[in-house]
Structure 1
Amino acid sequence: MTASGTTLAALLPLMDDLSVDLPNAERYRRLLATLRELLPCDASAILRLDGDTLVPLAVDGLSLDTLGRRFRIADHPRFAMLLASPGPTLFPADSPLPDPYDGLVAAAPRLDVHDCMGCRLETGGQAWGLLTLDALEPGRFSQDDIDTLRAFASLAAATVMAGMRMARLAHEADRERARAESFQAAANRATPRTLLGRSPAMQRLMEEIAVVAPSELAVLIRGETGTGKELVAQAVHAASARADRPLIAVNCAAFPAQLLESELFGHVRGAFSGATSDRRGKFELADRGTLFLDEVADLSLAAQAAMLRVMQSGHVQRIGSDREHHVDVRIIAASNRDLAEEVREGRCRADFFHRLSAYPIIVPNLRERGTDVLLLAGAFLEENRARHHRTGLRLSPEAQQALLDAPWPGNVRELEHTIGRAVLKASARSPGATGALTVEAGDLDLSIAPAPIPQAPTAIEGPVIGLRAAVTRFERDYILAAVRRHDGNWAAAARELGTDRANLRRSATRLGIRGTTQDTRD
């Protein structure tokens, strides 16, 4: 085969890659492999220009730690000359200019006399980066090699542009997917949920939201389970300058520790078992928008450290990648646990807590909101009216009073479930009817509501029992109350009680807590 035929055969796979969606790391690896086939050398690299610094993206023949280095152009005259030259540059073998790769070429501890050649890569008429080649044997490169590199640079630039185009398309697809998820979440409800209430406590909450929403401060939302912390996060986002950008939510308690970092920061193909392709994390999806971290107290200390770095620098590094992505994300977090107490107990980093709680907001519990319970009940009745195809749903006076008198340890979520059950029971009394329906106090069945947290008695009431029996009774009631507050979710109850779920189960068995509906859920 002629030399031109050999060159064409080497370039054909690279040209085919221009239309293929490949991870950029693989795209650049193939680029260097082809380059070294055309121009045999001992080391080659492709570097991306980032301000006044060159960042290695792929290397061949250089030590792996080269990928972690950042080369300031002002410190490396050879790189400066390559960037300033419109075409390839071949340095004399005995050039006095220091070589940036001295000590990094795998085949030689030092680069004294050697051949060094490189060229600038351009996209859109602007310098994008560099291609470099090093040969330990002086005189390895010739004028023909310079011409080959000049021609190859055009194909290399096309490869770079293909990677940028694929990355841009993937980013736009992820952004549109996030927007579609937001629209779908809104469409799943006949009427989008909003904060509702006229009580002084809710008015104070609305004022807090109005104050902090236009800012860029991180917000920490505190409140009991079921108070509507996610609705507060949505309200802050909707009133901010980022309202037209995505609000991406992550439940930090829903992922094992080893998967949560991938969910937040993304990963590259091959980073771990099952990582078959590059994947953007929630930080990148929320770029220029808002990231809502629910159950943030469940983040591990390692995840907190990684989160803190992103919040401080705005740079995200996917698992398995050495490349950083800059993101502009506002953080809103929520927790039903006191993070200051978590800091004291060593489960939360102090610096993470202070960064996260730049503006704390407390969501009032339903017991503090007075007649708001009837406003909320009306909203839930209207949702159920449409769902059950009724012309109307109303509460009897007795039912209204029962709602006002209830303790609501499960807050708004408990009220929503209570109304849903009551409508089903009321409908069962008149099957087939579609007209207006009255919900009675008995339909609410508030006797099955979760019990409030048992308090230690201030005085002994009733017959006196032994200390061991009293402790056992208190422990049993305390566990049952936690499980009921979390709608039978034993994992959530265990987190609240600061114990392992398996230990909580063993305690429940010892205390005779079995045969309940709560006992069947995790």
Structure 2
Amino acid sequence: MTTHPLLQALLPLVDDLSRELAEDERYRRLLGTLRALIPCDATALLRLDGEQLIPLAVDGLSPDTLGRRFAIAEHPRFAALLAQRTPTRFAADSELPDPYDGLVEEHVGHLEVHDCLGCPLFIDDRPWGLLTLDSLVPGSFAQNDLDNLEAFARLAAAAVKANQRLLGLARQAEAEQQLAARFREVAGQAGRAELIGQSAAHKRLLAEIDTVAGSDLTVLIEGETGVGKELVAQAIHARSPRARKLLVSINCAALPDQLVESELFGHVRGAFTGASGERSGKFELADGGTLLLDEVGELPLAVQAKLLRVLQSGQLQRLGSDREHRVDVRILAATNRDLAEEVRAGRFRADLYHRLSVYPLVVPPLRERGRDVLLLAGHFLEQSRARLHLRGLRLGGEAQAALLAHDWPGNVRELEHLLGRAALKALARQAERPRILSLEACDLDLAGTAAAAASSVVVAAEPPSAPLNGDLRQALDAYQRQLIQAALTRNADNWAATARELGVDRANLHRLAVRLGLK
């Protein structure tokens, strides 16, 4: 007996319904089955999250697509697909811009998608997301493809629902959405903290966040400058029982020493010159919620002692007042310094360090996260595309390779700023405003970034005594090594004094010295 071709194509998807598969593997197989059923250049599965669509899996699209967040209001094709319960086809002459223009990997000399097919997925009669198919060849899709996609979409919805049940994602996602919505309402923040990545290091970080978020433990968030420590703090708070209360943040490094105590604990009228009235401190504002002490390693020793008392007793006194206030605050602390080393050097109280590091959580640097750099690049490119009012903003192949090869001393923050500059630079060199803007390796100027980083290590040091040979990376390393050694000599091998002279964070200088073989 001959099996119907449609049924034959859907059998692998039916078989997967009974298997326990990892979420990304289940969705990857789902899209593979879809491309076998309906030949095309690219497919994608996107989940509806409020007013945006989040790609969960792609096949045939650039890997940075997974990091993009498509605002429905900015993409009329997605809005049109979500408005229907059945598949929709957009012909080659459709005036609606395609969100995937420039993102199809096999673009063969042209960037724009010419045939598009999509279908919404419904779970429990509620819209859950979209399946999309795209082709670079006009007229690729016929009427029977719409019929096949509708049948496939029903099985795909069943696969998604099975996956949610197996992993308990449905209840968790609903709870997180409610908590995040309440958090935005109370805190007045426009967006939700989102940590983007799929690497093993990133998944370990998310697992640790889930582990500690439900407790009331004090968390010390450690990591290099620019890794996203504040986003981690927001994620911990959003997943905690305190999410309906405020998350209050204070940057301990941005305040003069004489104002830190007032900012933390508040003050009464006349407590110091200019104190014309009473003011609540960050601890009182965060009562019942969470307080993030960002750059906690910068706190003066005198303030550290008072902070320790509040953490131990839950009681504080406003500056200039004898009356005590009791507060119930969860503490999250963030630092790019090695606080254990600060304790040994006498710059940080040991008792406060132990009180803060009940649960130390290290945020991995970007260079240890592999291809996450492309997902994050896609996220930032989509933001830049909207700001620059472009139809498409993409990375060329050499630009992707350059991003993957870079060391990222400035981590995610460096990536964000670099891509923003690159987009403006690439746009400026266009004779006419393009529909799709491609960023090439020359636009990223990673060599110039590395040179700037090297020059920023030292602001008062002698030039190299001899010419440097070799490639750029070797030359930069040799130059930095020579400048650091010269500064160390001037400061009698005192690393803290050397860091101050060079104008860099001591923890970052330590990591650089280790890489250069100076430690």
Q: CA deviation at 1:479?
A: 9.5
> CA separation in 2, counterparts of 1:206 and 1:413?
19
Q: CA deviation at 1:179?
A: 7.7
| Alignment root-mean-square deviation, CA | 3.0
> CA separation in 2, counterparts of 1:471 and 1:436?
41
> CA separation in 1, counterparts of 2:257 and 2:285?
20
Counterpart contact for 1:389–1:434, Cα < 8 Å: no
Counterpart of 2:446? 446
Q: 1:10-61, CA deviations, whole angstroms, 9 ceiling, x for partnerless residues?
A: xxxxxxxxxxxxxxxxxxxxxxxxxxxxxxxxxxxxxxxxxxxxxxxxxxxx
Q: CA deviation at 1:435?
A: 1.8
> CA separation in 1, counterparts of 2:486 and 2:425?
29
Q: CA deviation at 1:474?
A: 3.6
Counterpart of 2:496? 498
> CA separation in 1, counterparts of 2:431 and 2:331?
48
1:333 aligned partner, one-letter code: A
Structure 2 SS opposite 1:198: coil
> CA separation in 1, counterparts of 2:372 and 2:397?
16
Counterpart of 1:413? 413
Q: 1:92-123, CA deviations, whole angstroms, 9 ceiling, x for partnerless residues?
A: xxxxxxxxxxxxxxxxxxxxxxxxxxxxxxxx
Number of equivalences: 297
Counterpart contact for 1:252–1:299, Cα < 8 Å: yes
Distance 1:427 1:477, change over 3 A: farther
Structure 2 SS opposite 1:342: helix
Distance 1:279 1:181, change over 3 A: farther
Q: 1:481-511, CA deviations, whole angstroms, 9 ceiling, x for partnerless residues?
A: xxxxxxxxxxxxxxx9634998558xxxxxx
Match of residue 476, structure 1, among 466, 483, 503: 483
Q: Which runs of 5+ in 2 are unaligned?
A: 1-182, 458-465, 470-476, 488-493, 504-519
Counterpart of 2:329? 329
Distance 1:442 1:479, change over 3 A: farther
> CA separation in 1, counterparts of 2:355 and 2:411?
29
Alignment of 1:40-439 (within 5 A): 182-183=187-188, 186-187=189-190, 192-430=192-430, 433=433, 435-439=435-439
1:194 aligned partner, one-letter code: E
Distance 1:364 1:433, change over 3 A: same
Counterpart contact for 2:218–2:357, Cα < 8 Å: yes
Distance 1:502 1:212, change over 3 A: closer
Identity %, equivalent residues: 59
> CA separation in 2, counterparts of 1:179 and 1:462?
53
> CA separation in 2, counterparts of 1:319 and 1:500?
36
Counterpart contact for 1:220–1:334, Cα < 8 Å: yes
Q: CA deviation at 1:426?
A: 1.2
Query: Please, what TM-score do these two structures have when normalized by structure 1?
Result: 0.53
> CA separation in 2, counterparts of 1:432 and 1:289?
52
> CA separation in 2, counterparts of 1:192 and 1:446?
30
Counterpart of 2:36? none
Counterpart contact for 1:265–1:317, Cα < 8 Å: yes
Structure 2 SS opposite 1:408: coil
> CA separation in 1, counterparts of 2:266 and 2:481?
45
Over alpha carbons, which structure has the higher Rg? 1
Q: 1:35-90, CA deviations, whole angstroms, 9 ceiling, x for partnerless residues?
A: xxxxxxxxxxxxxxxxxxxxxxxxxxxxxxxxxxxxxxxxxxxxxxxxxxxxxxxx
Q: CA deviation at 1:257?
A: 1.2
Q: CA deviation at 1:349?
A: 0.7
Q: CA deviation at 1:371?
A: 0.2
> CA separation in 2, counterparts of 1:434 and 1:244?
45
Q: CA deviation at 1:195?
A: 0.7
Q: Which runs of 5+ in 1 are unaligned?
A: 1-177, 455-459, 464-469, 481-495, 506-522
Distance 1:428 1:207, change over 3 A: same
Counterpart contact for 1:287–1:327, Cα < 8 Å: yes
Counterpart contact for 1:418–1:444, Cα < 8 Å: yes
Distance 1:263 1:364, change over 3 A: same
Greater relative contact order (CA < 8 Å, ≥ 6 in sequence): 2
Counterpart contact for 1:212–1:236, Cα < 8 Å: yes
Counterpart contact for 1:221–1:332, Cα < 8 Å: yes
